[in-house]
Amino acid sequence: MGRRPTPTATLKLRGSWRAKAREKRGDLAPTSGAIEPLPSVAGCPQALALFNSIVRPLQDQGLAGCSDSLALSMLASELAAGQIATERMNASGGAVVAGRLNPWFTAMMQSNKLAFKIMNEFGMTALARTKLGGEAKPETQPDSIAQMFKFPN
């Protein structure tokens, strides 16, 4: 099995030579076209709002195309399911009810776990972003915490 291959768009952001090699093969750009939500997402107002808020930044960065509609719809659906489960858990008494784990708590945790896995695929977590290229770190270290956070003396 081994590790899953890193998406080409992620490699390009890192400045990897592998992205240049894949670019020569012609598979670098996301597929063109509109990213449409699945009907199940389009029918749920919470999921549709999440879908629209997720898709726009990914398209602007060139990380998503129409072929990503399914995965992004799944992400929006899982995030919405987690929100709904959280609301119902809170309405029914919290994470533990009558000495037992609330089933809505379990549903919330499962939805959040799957959503987190999908978010890693699109570079939407802190760890995934650290693997991307970014600004160079400053060469000089601040003398004190006050200088680091620019506190007045």
pLDDT above 70 as % of the chain: 80
Predicted local distance difference test score (pLDDT) of residue 34: 83
pTM tops 0.75, yes or no: no
In a domain, residue 120? The reply is yes
SS3 for 8-38 is: HHHHHHHCCHHHHHHHHHCCCCCCCCCCCCC
How many distinct structural domains can be found in the chain? 1
Instruction: Tell me, yes or no, whether 97 lies in a domain.
Output: yes
Domain span including residue 75:
34-124
Report if residue 3 sits inside a domain.
no
* CB of 94 closer than 8 Å to CB of 61: no
Helix 69-91 to helix 103-121 angle, to the nearest 10 degrees?
Answer: 150
Asked, for residue 150, whether it belongs to a domain, the answer is: no
87, part of any domain: yes
Whether 49 maps to a domain, the answer reads yes
Residues 3-38 have pLDDT tens digits of 877 877 788 888 888 887 777 766 545 677 788 999
- Asked whether 31 and 42 are in contact (CB, 8 A), the reply is no
* Within-domain flag for 141: no
5 assigned to some structural domain: no
pLDDT digits (tens, 9 = 90+) for 58-97: 888 777 888 888 999 999 999 999 999 999 999 999 999 9
